[in-house]
């Protein structure tokens, strides 16, 4: 199923310096099909939480997650096909991904489906990235492009969460789903943390480049 004009780049960029994402080159469009799909995904978050924590309608909650995963794929695909990329879309897409992951983690933890350490690890990662975004904003940089590892991790987790809900039930389907769901959860968590570490390294590289160039 997730973006302030940055400063002009120095004339000479040291080799290996991370590049700032090109979100600022995107047009300021709002009314596009991909943006509508991203808003639809965002509106599904409270519905998803209510289904999990209220009536505990896991089947419908899984359906919402599946729709979210499809629209996550579709909005990027349509943005390229229809040439409807936008700054707003580059913000909404990762925001929706993060909201679904964090809300699902909290809901599954409250229902004791997943252990607390997974919640602490993934929510802690989001807090660290929030600090990195503040560092970038303080230096007038836009958010960096989403790393491909982060997208892969998000995809794994969005597949893992429905599996965990099924595995929490009874019967043969729960038994079959459990090992696959936990494998996706562990791999998704590992890649999600690794993508977060790469983001931190990129931000540190930008700060180091600024200091080397004598920028405040």
pLDDT value at 82 more than 50: yes
Alpha helices, H only, 54-171 = 58-81, 87-110, 116-138, 148-167
pLDDT at 28: 65
Give residue 12's pLDDT band: very low, low, confident or very high (50, 70, 90).
very low
Q: Which residue has the tokens 């590289």?
A: 205
pLDDT value at 182 more than 80: yes
129-134 long-range contacts (CB < 8 A, ≥24 apart) are 129/196, 129/199, 129/200, 132/199, 132/200, 132/203
pLDDT at 25: 62
pLDDT value at 77 more than 70: yes
* Chain segment 38-63, per-residue pLDDT in tens: 888 888 889 988 988 888 888 888 88
pLDDT at 57: 84
Which carries the bigger pLDDT value, residue 123 or residue 22?
A: 123
* Chain segment 125-174, per-residue pLDDT in tens: 989 998 998 998 888 887 777 777 888 888 888 888 888 888 887 889 88
Query: Among 94-103, 161-170, 200-209, where is mean pLDDT lowest?
Result: 94-103
> What is the reported pTM?
0.70
Domains, in order of start, for the chain: 30-212 (1.20.120.1760)
pLDDT value at 184 more than 90: yes
| C-alpha Rg value of the chain to the nearest Å | 19
């Amino acid at each position: 199923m997730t973006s302030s004009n940055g400063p002009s780049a120095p004339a000479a960029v040291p080799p290996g310096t991370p590049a700032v994402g090109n979100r600022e080159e995107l047009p300021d469009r709002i009314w596009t099909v991909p943006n509508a799909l991203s808003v639809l995904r965002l509106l599904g978050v409270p519905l998803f939480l209510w289904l999990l924590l209220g009536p505990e309608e896991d089947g419908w909650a899984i359906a919402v997650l599946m729709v979210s995963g499809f629209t996550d794929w579709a909005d990027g695909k349509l943005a390229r096909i229809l040439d409807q990329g936008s700054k707003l879309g580059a913000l909404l897409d990762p925001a929706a991904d993060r909201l679904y992951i964090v809300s699902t983690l909290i809901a599954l933890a409250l229902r004791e489906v997943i252990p607390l350490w997974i919640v602490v690890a993934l929510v802690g990662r989001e807090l660290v990235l929030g600090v990195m975004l503040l560092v970038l904003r303080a230096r007038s940089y836009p958010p960096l492009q989403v790393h491909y590892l982060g997208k892969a991790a998000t995809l794994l987790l969005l597949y893992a969460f429905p599996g965990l809900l099924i595995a929490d039930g009874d019967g043969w389907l729960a038994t079959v789903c459990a090992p696959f769901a936990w494998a996706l959860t562990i791999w998704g968590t590992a890649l999600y943390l690794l993508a977060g570490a790469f983001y931190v390294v990129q931000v540190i590289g930008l700060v180091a480049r600024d200091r080397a160039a004598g920028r405040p």
